[in-house]
Structure formats: structure tokens, C-alpha cells
Amino acid sequence: MTQTPERLTKGERTRRRILHTALEIFAERGYAGVSLREVASRAGITHAGLLHYFTGKDDLLLTMMIERDRAEIEAIRSYVAAGTGPSSVEQIIVRWMIRDIARNQSRPDIAPLFVKLSTEATESGHPAYDYFRGRYIRLRETLARGFAYEFAAAEPPVEGRDPGLCAQQFIALADGLQVQWLLDPESTDMVASLLDYLGILGIDAEGWADIAVPEDRSA
Amino acid sequence: MTQTPERLTKGERTRRRILHTALEIFAERGYAGVSLREVASRAGITHAGLLHYFTGKDDLLLTMMIERDRAEIEAIRSYVAAGTGPSSVEQIIVRWMIRDIARNQSRPDIAPLFVKLSTEATESGHPAYDYFRGRYIRLRETLARGFAYEFAAAEPPVEGRDPGLCAQQFIALADGLQVQWLLDPESTDMVASLLDYLGILGIDAEGWADIAVPEDRSA
DNA sequence: GTCTATATTCCGATAGAC
DNA sequence: GTCTATCGGAATATAGAC
């Protein structure tokens, strides 16, 4: 399904280059503050050329978000399907998120993007409002199943905690820590803070930031 | 020091009306996506009229943030100074924040403002970057002292927890919950989630959302 | 598939009348 | 203190050449 870059048409390569550039710039400066001209310029074409591939700024944003999500989901599924250990998504999702944040803390990439765009998109009527709403709901559900698994797997098992509430708190913590980290990286160790939270819950998450998962090939 | 509205000059009233309007609009749509013309229009003047009071868009943003902060700080100080109970800021700051979020959850007002602008301001070079950086540092310090107090006052006292780390987590949680709440209010009870977090730490925060504090008169 | 050229709208900011 | 008028620039988007 996923072709190697060498086999792609010139148009498809340009399209991917635009998406990659858009991701970088939106991550740096949000959505409203960025112009198509700037994205096009950094991608090596004019803004009119860019509009050959996307109908407008909104389309570029949503396409980028959706493709990014799909790549991430496929990476998780293929890791699980590889069968080297865990055999379902809920057995790995909490660890995956920890590792994801650890990787982003050492090499900032797309994490700022989601925080900036999600807050910007909270205005109803924003082009990505529905997308983010659905994304948070899905993530919360997946993570809730992950917490239910971790609670049962913990030694001793954790009882009396609501997995859904913990999922909500975990996501909120990850988002909020991102803001503090971007403003003041030296004072904020996101991974340590998240592991500490899991520790409070009764989950021993030692070493979860280092679990080996395949690098995903970004768009 | 603070005059009643009736005694203000016409210019001062206009100035405050502009600040109030700016707060509303920035809270709705962030900074980059808002024009001075729109703020001015909703305040009942032209954008040229607005620029009689502020040197530019950046000035409007920073003045608004700083005055908002000052009003909040003064409200806390005057409550403490009233001497009806707690005699220092650290004895009330955690409860104050809970009540503040409870009030904002029932009557959304300025809470979205800080989440949206702070993420937008994480780009270095943003006009409010330094402001937010300093704000988070100060808030974290104040809240850390608050947690140290609450840990000592808890029954039984909480031991072995780092107040600074808890302050960081509490702020992150509040910010992150705000995003989920704005996207999906029905699924997110911010106050319940924060009280649950305090409960995990060993702090019984029952009823903290209902503590009586004087309404602050907003700008 | 990408360009130039352009239409249209809106931006922040200034000058100066009243 | 607030206005009209306007500047210079940049935005999204379209039309059509190559």
C-alpha cells in the first residue's frame, strides 16, 4: 500500500513535500498566523502551485492532520501485528504515548503542532474543530482501555480507579506539560512528570520511555 | 486606588471597554486570527480610534494580559488581607484555583484566553512570549508553596511528594482539561478531575469549589 | 505540473479634520 | 477623543500561459 519514494510520480512527491513543510510551519506558528505563500515558498514552489494540490488552506490543514494520524495509527497496528510481544493495542498504548513524548522531547517535531492547533480549533466553526473533537474522543477511549489493562497488569493490581478519568487526566497532563516545556524546556521534564503521575496511580512505569518500537517513516 | 466607573473620564471608560472587548475576542479566536478592526468595531469605535489608546496590536495584547493578572493578584491579596480566615497566599492558592475553574466552567469567561494565548505564545519571538514564560514561572512557584502547605495541613500529612512537581502537574492538568472541555463540555468535568487528582495525592479537597470568595470586579 | 499575473479583500498603521 | 481617508503591504484565491 505504501510505495517507496523512488516509485512516486513527481506530483506525488511534491504533494508530500508540501504536507511535510506545512506540518513544520504549523507546528512552529499555529494555523491563523501562517500564510500559504510561506508554506509554498519553503516547499520550493509558489502559492499558486500549492493550490494545484489543495483546494485551500483549510484543506491543507485537514489533509495534513488526517494523514499524520493515519500514519501513527498504522505504526501502532503494525508494531502490534509484528507479534514481538504485546498482542493488542491496549497493552501498549500507554507505553507508546510515553515513548512518543520522550522522543519528541529530545527531538521536537510534531508534538507542538497538536497542542497549538487543538487550542486554536476549540472555537466552534474552526475548520479543524470537528476533527479535533473526534480525535480526542477516540484517543480517550483507546487510552481508557489501555489504563484498564495496566491497572489489571500492575503489581499489585490497581483498584478503585476510573480508567476513563485517568485517560482524560493523562491526555490533559501531556498537553499541558507541552506548553510549559515549550516556554521553559529546562524546568519541565515531561516524561518524568508523566511517569510520576503513573507512579501515583500505582503503575510502575520504569523504563517505559525506552521501549523499542520501530521508527515510523513520516510523510 | 481603584475608582468607581462613574467617576472615570470618558477616555478611561473607552479604554476599559476596549480592553474588555479584546479579552472576549482573543479568548474566542486567539491573537493572530483577530484584527484590530474587529476589536474596535465590537467596542463601538473605529480601529483608528482604538489606536489612540494603544500603540499597536502587541501593546493591546500585553496591556490586557498584565492588567488582567494584576486584578487577579489584587483580588487574592485583598481576600487574604480581609483576615476572615487564611492569613497568607499559600494557604489559599490551591483552593482559589479550584474555585476559579469551577466558576469558569459554569460561566465561561477568561479561561480559554490563557490556554489559547499561551500555546500561541510558545513560539519564541511572539510578543507575549516573555510575558507567559514569566507568568508560568511565578505561578508554579506560588503554587508549589501552596502544595507544601496543603501537604503539611492534610490529615494525615502527605509525605514524599515534591510540591514543585505537583504544581507543574496541577497547572498542566488545568490547561489540558480546558482544551478537552472546550471541545467537548459534556464529557469533561474539570473540577471533578482536578479534585480527583488532589485526592490521589492525599489531599481531601471536598467542597473547595464552593469556598466563599469575593467576586472580583473585572476590567 | 508549475508558473506569472491579477482580482479582491483585508491587514496594521498614519495623517489630519472636527 | 474619535472620526474619515488613505498608505503600503500581504492575504486567499482565480485565470490562463507554458
Q: Is residue A157 part of a domain?
A: yes
Cα separation, B104 vs A153, whole angstroms: 38
Cα separation, B102 vs B91, whole angstroms: 19
Q: Is residue A189 part of a domain?
A: yes
Helices A190-201 and B190-201 pack at an angle, to 10 degrees, of 80
Percent of chain B predicted with pLDDT > 90: 82
Residues of chain B whose pLDDT is less than 70?
1-6, 212-219
Alpha helices in chain A (DSSP H): 10-29, 36-42, 47-50, 57-82, 93-106, 111-120, 129-153, 163-183, 190-201
Q: Is residue A136 part of a domain?
A: yes
Whether any strand C atom is under 7 angstroms from the Cβ of A32: the reply reads no
A 53-112 residues with CB < 8 A to B: 112
Q: Is residue A12 part of a domain?
A: no
Alpha helices in chain B (DSSP H): 10-29, 36-43, 47-50, 57-82, 93-106, 111-120, 129-153, 163-183, 190-201
Our measurement of CA B64 to C1' C15, in angstroms, reads 27
Q: Is residue A111 part of a domain?
A: yes
What's the grid cell of residue B33?
486570527
What is the CB neighbour count within 10 angstroms for residue B67? 15
Cα separation, B100 vs B170, whole angstroms: 14
Predicted pLDDT at A215: 56
Predicted pLDDT at A217: 47
Phi, psi of B165 (to 5 degrees): -65, -40
Q: Is residue B218 part of a domain?
A: no
Q: Is residue A45 part of a domain?
A: no
Per-residue pLDDT of chain A (219 residues; tens, 9 = 90+): 444 455 678 888 999 999 999 999 999 999 999 999 999 999 999 999 999 999 999 999 999 999 999 999 999 999 999 877 788 999 999 999 999 999 988 877 788 899 999 999 999 899 999 999 999 999 999 999 999 999 999 999 999 999 999 999 999 999 999 999 999 999 999 999 999 999 999 999 988 988 766 554 444
Our measurement of CA A57 to C1' C3, in angstroms, reads 20
Nucleotide nearest to A37 (CA to C1'): D11
Any B CB within 8 A of A136 CB: yes
**What's the structural domain count of chain A?**
1
Any A CB within 8 A of B28 CB: yes
Q: Is A55 exposed, middle or buried (0-12, 13-18, 19+ CB in 10 A)?
A: exposed
Cα separation, B29 vs A79, whole angstroms: 39
Q: Is residue A38 part of a domain?
A: no
- Measure Cα distances from B196 to A54, A128, A180, B167 in Å: 45, 31, 22, 15
Q: Is B119 exposed, middle or buried (0-12, 13-18, 19+ CB in 10 A)?
A: buried
Please write the tens of the pLDDT for every residue from B159-214: 999 999 999 999 999 999 999 999 999 999 999 999 999 999 999 998 898 876 65
Predicted pLDDT at A109: 73
Nearest to B200 among A121, A129, A200 (CB): A200
Phi, psi of A2 (to 5 degrees): -90, 120
Range of the domain at A189: 65-210
Cα separation, A94 vs A100, whole angstroms: 10
Cα separation, B185 vs B175, whole angstroms: 14
Which CATH number characterizes residue B176's domain? 1.10.357.10
A28 contacts in chain B (CB < 8 Å): 123
Whether any strand C atom is under 7 angstroms from the Cβ of B48: the reply reads yes
